[in-house]
Structure 1
């Protein structure tokens, strides 16, 4: 169930942004005026709070607006609320009600809603055949993800009779279109000679294409080919590199830090003056509480320059002081220290909280990092981070 939960969470994190890009004409004030009576506006307002667009991201508030729109039969809100309830975002999980809402939303025939319902149903042998039907409907409507998921059911014999030839036919156009999961799965069929003639060279090309899209399983599979010389020349160094890359990608997906420090410098600022006189001036400004000076001293304490020996505990203190004074890049860097456990105890909740505040403060690099880390956090952790961000005193 964790695999399903993780997949739905990734979808939840990504798809609302797409919806927002398509329906963002109305201002926040206009949405607030219309949301009480218009379910589409209420849903749109929920998406704003879900994505943190123009507001501090808050799933509890988003859930309330999705609930309002869903109660009026608005299918997109029913589907989003179902995802929230399935994961426990913005409140307690209620998977029974989530399934009811998934079913209601799917009645609209929207391919994404059919797909989301199928992802839930395929985990139960009794409902897996219905999942296959839903994937087929979504696939017929042109949804590649559904086509690939249907291929997996045929490959594994889940809800349908196992048929590797059908699985191959489903994977091939998706792989040709650049779908990483289809490329990897089709590559495995060629490696094993299942449903196709065994072809290691073809498998290697497919794994390579998927690996270039950072699919960890494909990196590992390609590493096996290089280690054994199947379809590619024997290259143990390349194999080891791929194993490391695949392992790092898995580590990120399992909540482990594999990327190392991700400290950023504020691009709006000139580099600090590293002369003896310049450093003395910078230290005095930091001691006086200047947020820019605090930030720059924190950045230097991370070992960013050989002039000052790195001290992550000192960096954390300085970044925190700058962050408390409203410096967004300091907030982001403090978040990184919490996420990586550098100079402070590792704490994803505090890290996520500071990323939310940095994003609200206008730091451009915080969004991608927040989305990345949210994928490996529990719904309870995200809810708590959002609560703390909302409760943070405003200057």
Structure 2
């Protein structure tokens, strides 16, 4: 059994232990209406994220199997992030004005189109797929959360080839469309405002509220490093002596990353019971930056690099619920989707610039370290701003 399988087994055991230990401290939810809301949201959101994550381990290696060069692969990814950057703001306004449920259905159709293009080993067709995928990603990381806040108050690739996970994603997305249409009610942000006013209002909130501004800076810095990591871990963990990197168990590695994210989500529960989010996230971001430094200092020791990647993914697991919670407190509901997509503009721009420069692996991960360390500093400033103050009630002016 190699180090990848050992890591997967160990992380699985840790997740199981954390699951059962944390279950003892979770209070039952007596509110049946709230419980039904949770099930309705999670049913849809898990399908959406599952469709996205199924593709994660195989995008890079699929492009390589089609004979794409490193520069072409970077360009494909760059187009995806550029698409997300350019379309994100307008998609956010669309969600706030015309409905988050409708926007989530649009996400599914866009992603289905993106998955279909993966069957064609032609650069131009794959390029179209990246454009569709970039637009879909903007919706995934804004409209679903906005809907939820408002309503509240691998493995087949080894057998069927690298394109198989994308076909499974299509199945997930079709089921997703049905679930959204049957289970979700529609809700809006400011449905009476036009696009210009929505964008201007969102921009004014970001510029006038330091906490919202800092949230955007931290999110952009952290998630840009996260996306660069997602694109670069495959070539970094592949021994240079291998011609065909299919010898790397991409699905097992990615599954281990997801187990690490789960561990982080369990740790989030423990941390929030003892500390304020603004406080402990400073240390989480520092650990994340240190994790990204390992490929720079000792890239030849693959075991250490792999362990540091697990550490980073644990930080990702803490980051997501932490920032979803803080956005719920600080970001106004009526322009939530618009603001969240504005946050993604610098995020996508950073990733786009890094990819198009085609830096060496060491330089790329050094930039990730710098980005995460800067996010840590910004988080410290946010902590100081919110220290000794109680959180406001979450904004809930949804219609």
Structure 2 length normalisation: TM-score?
A: 0.25
Structure 1 length normalisation: TM-score?
A: 0.25
Choose between structure 1 and 2: higher helix proportion.
Answer: 2
Larger Rg: 1
Q: Which of the pair has the greater relative contact order for Cα pairs under 8 Å at 6+ separation?
A: 2
